[in-house]
Structure 1
Amino acid sequence: MRLPCFDKSIDDRKAVHLWQEVQGPVDVVLFEGWCVGAPPMKEGLNHPINSLEEELDTDGLWRKTMNQRLKQDYKELFSKIDLMVWMQAPHYDVVYNWRNKQERMLESHLHDIHGILLDTIDLKVMSEAELKRFMQYYERLTRHLLAVMPDQADVLFTLSEVQEVIKTRYPTEH
């Protein structure tokens, strides 16, 4: 079985020939992503919460469509998760800082691999301004996740602003 893998530098999955191949049976599959396990939002979709929503989603189509997908397609996918592990950020603002750190590390890594050719190849690292804009697409959902996931997760790691685990909660069964 081939396992798909996301590549942030191209904002897409890696080419199939680069996927890791594993032989079964497989006991554990880690399914990781920014919005994994997100339940739909119950309210608050009518009003924009940032400049991107004000400019590009004046009628709320993006946020309502995203929420509808969480109610249907993603709910079915997430129902297959046997154990939900959640890493809780202290607040939304640090999420930007952490993601910016990832972008800078990616930039350094790509520069180490490709050197001077980095500007000539089709790889993308977001500037700070691009990252701020990108994160506005997910701000509403991220704030929602920060509010609801601690109560929904089976395993909870509460993180400090420097991404250290400061508290843990494990399930009583599993």
Structure 2
Amino acid sequence: MANILNISSQAVTPWSNATSVFSSKSKFSLSSKLSLPHPSISVSAVVSTGCRFSWMEEDLTSNRNTFRNGRRLSHVQLALPARSTVATSSLEDLFAFICSGPLVDKLGLTEEKIAESIDKWLLCASQLCRIFQLNELILNDAQKVRLYHYYIPVFLWCEDQISQHASKFKDGEEVPPLVIGFSAPQGCGKTTLVFALDYLFKITGRKSATISIDDFYLTAEEQGKLREANTGNRLLEYRGNAGSHDLSLSVETLTALRKLTKEGVKMKVPRYNKSAYNGRGDRADPEIWPEVEGPLTAILFEGWMLGFKPLPDEEVKAVDPQLETVNKNLRAYYDSWDKYIEAWVVIKIKDPSCVYQWRLQAEQAMRADGKSGMTDEEVMDFVSRYLPAYNAYLPSLYAEGPSGSDPNHTLVVEIDEGRNPILPVR
């Protein structure tokens, strides 16, 4: 390993935007001191070793805790437990730990490639520790897994996808941002992952925009009309399933975002207020929608049902008869969402029932922060309205990939109940 890892005492500097661990030819040297200035981002993560679920959660009491993408950290369950810490092992042990990650082989990362880009791995980890307010020299095993086995490998994969995307255009041509879709069940940590990726793009000098399918839910008034038009169908009584989204708004938003290729061009992106109407939600006031400015490098688009494909009616009715209407509604979603996505990250789970526990944690955290949230009983009822879709559509999503996806531009990350990536069972 000593032949692979080149250790130096030189200072680490931020990497070039063109650097890629998949094609790097020059070896990086590892610094014994990572002392970079704190990036300018208005986030103050509150870490408590005695927090309710041993998760880091954001205090919502001031505007300082609002991300540049318009979301708040309390809506992001930071899957980085803050207790039972142990000292980070030696450099050689850390290198071996990185190489043992479940995504390494999937990404085609050899020990040599990792060694060549070791500074990049450490700089990414250092900056993520800053934003999550962790001590990079004292990380517990779960935190190391989350950084080195999950967030950083996915970021490097996204970088490679962006590089491949840009290579399709000639010098001087405007390169539209790459739309990367993140399909993952509710509560599994996809919003935290997207936040981490957006932050890493920022510190590498690139601009990205983050959107969620939640941003395109119908207004509370329109949801009421949907409910009246589908009386008795509990799957369409509240937001969530296909049919409860403003597809024209999503088309307008994605089309406009892909045109943000020049400096100074700006637009506001929709946001949804889940706490409105006692947790039933409503579209946020456009006055507080966040503004993004070009040129964008990537658009990070996440959602629990991204990539779901309509199935034959008899198949969905066998899962739940009320799913038939949802299935018909789903046929319009490819043209409104999926066709814009050129690269996919699919977060795979073994059992959809764990969504209930994850959602329960999220709502409890919202209530603890003084926000309106659903009771435990309401959470159970709410999640039960999503489970038929999970049971119907996840098998084909995992077996065939998202709607319209290219296997060469799709990364599947299988996670366990603790939201950690694992090696797939063969």
TM > 0.5: yes
In 2, Cα distance between equivalents of 1:101 and 1:138 = 17
2:315 matched to which residue of 1? 44
Deviation at 1:17, TM superposition (A): 1.3
Identity of aligned residues (%): 26
Distance of aligned partners of 1:155 and 1:31 in 2 relative to their CA distance in 1, 3 Å threshold: same
Q: 1:9 aligns with which of 259, 269, 275?
A: 275
2:397 matched to which residue of 1? 149
In 2, Cα distance between equivalents of 1:47 and 1:68 = 15
1:74 is the counterpart of 2:345: no
Conserved? CA contact 1:5–1:19, under 8 Å: yes
Deviation at 1:94, TM superposition (A): 0.7
How is 1:112-151 mapped onto 2 (pairs within 5 angstroms)?
123=372, 125-151=373-399
1:115 matched to which residue of 2? none
1:34 is the counterpart of 2:282: no
Deviation at 1:161, TM superposition (A): 0.7
* Count of aligned residue pairs for this structure pair: 144
Conserved? CA contact 1:90–1:160, under 8 Å: yes
In 2, Cα distance between equivalents of 1:6 and 1:17 = 12
How is 1:43-62 mapped onto 2 (pairs within 5 angstroms)?
43-47=314-318, 49=320, 60=321, 62=322
1:166 counterpart SS class: coil
In structure 2, give the amino acid aligned to 1:108: A
Runs of 4+ in 1 over 3 A off after TM superposition: none
Conserved? CA contact 1:100–1:131, under 8 Å: yes
TM-score, normalisation: structure 1: 0.73
Conserved? CA contact 1:89–1:146, under 8 Å: no
1:89 is the counterpart of 2:349: yes
Deviation at 1:87, TM superposition (A): 1.1
Structure 2 alignment gaps of length 5 or more = 1-266, 403-409
For residues 10-37 of structure 1, the C-alpha deviation after alignment (integer angstroms, 9 at most, x for no partner) is 2233211111101123221111122122
1:106 matched to which residue of 2? 366
In structure 2, give the amino acid aligned to 1:155: L
In 1, Cα distance between equivalents of 2:393 and 2:365 = 25
Conserved? CA contact 1:3–1:19, under 8 Å: yes
1:4 counterpart SS class: coil
Deviation at 1:44, TM superposition (A): 2.5
Deviates more, 1:140-149 or 1:20-29: 140-149
1:46 counterpart SS class: helix
Conserved? CA contact 2:308–2:394, under 8 Å: no
In 1, Cα distance between equivalents of 2:285 and 2:333 = 24
1:68 counterpart SS class: helix
Distance of aligned partners of 1:8 and 1:162 in 2 relative to their CA distance in 1, 3 Å threshold: same
In 2, Cα distance between equivalents of 1:19 and 1:129 = 31
2:293 matched to which residue of 1? 23
In 1, Cα distance between equivalents of 2:299 and 2:274 = 20
In 2, Cα distance between equivalents of 1:48 and 1:86 = 23
1:172 matched to which residue of 2? none
1:22 counterpart SS class: strand
For residues 8-65 of structure 1, the C-alpha deviation after alignment (integer angstroms, 9 at most, x for no partner) is 222233211111101123221111122122111234233464xxxxxxxxxx4x4222
In 2, Cα distance between equivalents of 1:159 and 1:145 = 18
Structure 1 alignment gaps of length 5 or more = 50-59, 112-117, 169-174
TM-score, normalisation: structure 2: 0.32
For residues 50-87 of structure 1, the C-alpha deviation after alignment (integer angstroms, 9 at most, x for no partner) is xxxxxxxxxx4x4222111211x201121111112111
Higher RCO structure, 1 or 2 (CA under 8 Å, sep 6+)? 1
Q: 2:325 aligns with which of 37, 47, 65?
A: 65
1:161 is the counterpart of 2:409: no
